Amino acid sequence: MANYELSPLPYDYDALEPHVSEQVLTWHHDTHHQGYVNGWNAAEETLEANREEGDFSASAGAIGDVTHNGSGHILHDLFWQSMSPEGGDEPEGDLRARIEEDFGSYEAWEGEFRAAASAAGGWALLVYDSHSEQLRNVVVDKHDQGALWGSHPILSLDVWEHSYYYDYGPDRGDFVDNFFEVVDWEEPAARYADLVEKFE
Which residues are annotated binding-site positions for Mn(2+)?
28, 76, 158, 162
Question: Exposed (0-12), middle (13-18) or buried (19+): which is 6, by Cβ within 10 Å?
Answer: middle
Helices in 82-159 by DSSP H: which ranges?
A: 93-103, 106-119
Cis previous bond, 18, omega within 30: yes
Closest to 124 measured CA to CA, from 196, 181, 190, 175: 175
CB 95 within 8 A of CB 185: yes
Strands of the 134-141 sheet, one edge to the other: 134-141, 122-129, 151-158
Longest Cα–Cα distance in the chain: 56
CB 46 within 8 A of CB 57: no
CB 70 within 8 A of CB 40: yes
Binding-site sequence positions? 28, 76, 158, 162
Closest to 28 measured CA to CA, from 177, 175, 191: 175
